[in-house]
Amino acid sequence: MRVTADLRYDADPQAVFEMLTDKAFQDRKLARTGALTWEVQIRRQNGGAVILSRRTLPTDQVPDAFRALIGPQLSITQTETWGPAEANGSRTGTIQIEVTGAPIRMQATASLSATITQGCVEQVDGELKARIPFIGGKVERSAEPAVRAALEAEQRIGRDWLAQR
């Protein structure tokens, strides 16, 4: 299932990249998006960065039929890899999300670029896949709103973070 989003911020791409690679921001994002436990590692490399987060979420919002497959908690590993800035400040990267113990993952491309007006847009374009015979499509359709809500929450939390800076 295709998942796309445009996350808009009132800051330039470098400021948004600095936010995304700030451990305090990542901790705030994970706490505010309902994670029960989490850990974040950020490694800057070659002008870019790798952000690795692992979190445990409750499954109370998961439909009952699928909760039996995953249990009372959901463990997610997310890896964001950002390349160096281009001359105009834009960046490209990838996002991988995996659900531990379930054949569910999302692979996406991401970009940070300045908008015509002041600000920046983070574009996410990915594929959410549930490799479960017979019900994979239903699982994808059930998971897509949660992925979209997480992206919208990241935008909201990011806007608040940037406004405080």
Does residue 10 surpass a pLDDT of 80?
A: yes
pLDDT digits (tens, 9 = 90+) for 99-151: 887 788 999 999 999 998 879 999 999 999 988 777 778 878 877 888 888 89
pTM score, two decimals? 0.90
CB of 89 closer than 8 Å to CB of 13: yes
CB of 128 closer than 8 Å to CB of 146: no
Amino acid letter, 129: K
* C-alpha distances out from residue 91 to 4, 20, 84, 121, Å: 17, 12, 6, 11
pLDDT digits (tens, 9 = 90+) for 45-99: 999 999 999 999 887 766 666 666 677 788 999 999 999 999 999 999 999 999 8
CB of 129 closer than 8 Å to CB of 33: no
Please, what are the domains in the chain? 2-163 (3.30.530.20)
